Structure 1
Amino acid sequence: MIKNRDELEWIKRVRSGDRAAFARLVYPYRRRIYSLAYQKLNHAQEAEDIVQETFLRAYIHLHRFSCRHPFSTWIYRIATNLCIDRIRKKKAEVHLDAPLGREEGGCWYHFVASREKTPEEWLIDREQQWEVRRALRALPSNYRSVMLLRYIQQMPLSEIGEKLQMPVTTVKTRVHRGRKALVRRLASSV
């Protein structure tokens, strides 16, 4: 069920022909959909295309959306499906086991770059994660709780406000100040 009454109202307005309401409805999801698409496709332009296609499909098919489920789940499913379709279309037509020409010898596997991280990259990532966790633990509790909910659990500001029983403006302020404090702590550890 939709928790956000504004979303329900915007959906009703869009269904009655108000295009501006659609922009208000999808605007909060643009960054997360871009992030999702970028993680799956690893290409900025394609991720932007997925955001546009997601919003277009959501607009066209909004009449199919059931208000019994969260709107976010529905729109993320559209984006995920578009990413999957894009990946399928990009699959190579050449089989990696196919032999190369006589001069080259072997097969195509020799030309495939590994996507796995090197041990050095893996270690650097682990060290950076450890530094960020250490800096987060050192934040005052009022900033730490908001930062964890916002960036680790990726909760919207309104849900954080509900969970911590505080106004959204307070949440925004604490996120902003927490981010600044986190940057200072990370900069001082370098």
Structure 2
Amino acid sequence: MNFVETRLAKLARNGDRAAFTELVELYKDKIFHLAYRMLNNKQEAQDAVQETFLRVYMNLHRYDDKQKLSTWIFRIGTNHCIDLLRKRKNRTYSLDAEIPDGEGNDFYSMLQSYEPTPENQVIVSETQMQIRRAIDSLSEKYKTVVILRYLHDMSLQEISEILDMPVTTVKTRVHRGRAYLKLKLEQEPDLQDA
């Protein structure tokens, strides 16, 4: 148990805004990376960070000092991202429909370009992009555990606590997600030539 985390949580719970600001500073980048990996959208990830910390602030009275604060914050962020993914899956759009308050733009004009910028070409290698696409193609239940395990280097126990599921289930999902990724990456022609 991290003493500093526990102390900051107690101070924030008692209304110390500086302590809460310090908690946000400790975890905002980690939550952003989690949200960006799950949502694959920078703006949605930034919004998810804000919503996560709003929920943390509103629920500090529910935080149990016996558990790791980081696990509790990651659980809130992960659950929020999962909710957003579910809502996204249930939405249907007509690409020709005009966007409300979109100044005459339709959804076609809002589609993200997959053309890499010169900066991205330097920063992100082709292999990383292929791995990213493979992770993005995972179903929600496998994608979440793979991101937490391999991109955030969390233990199976930590993931179990964040997702509130048995360690055996987490282990199975990590194994199946990894097997799917391996199969998907073996099908990538550029990786076979390397």
TM-score, structure 2 normalization: 0.48
Specify the structure having the higher radius of gyration (Cα).
1
Determine which structure has greater relative contact order: mean sequence separation of CA pairs < 8 Å that are 6+ residues apart, divided by chain length: 2
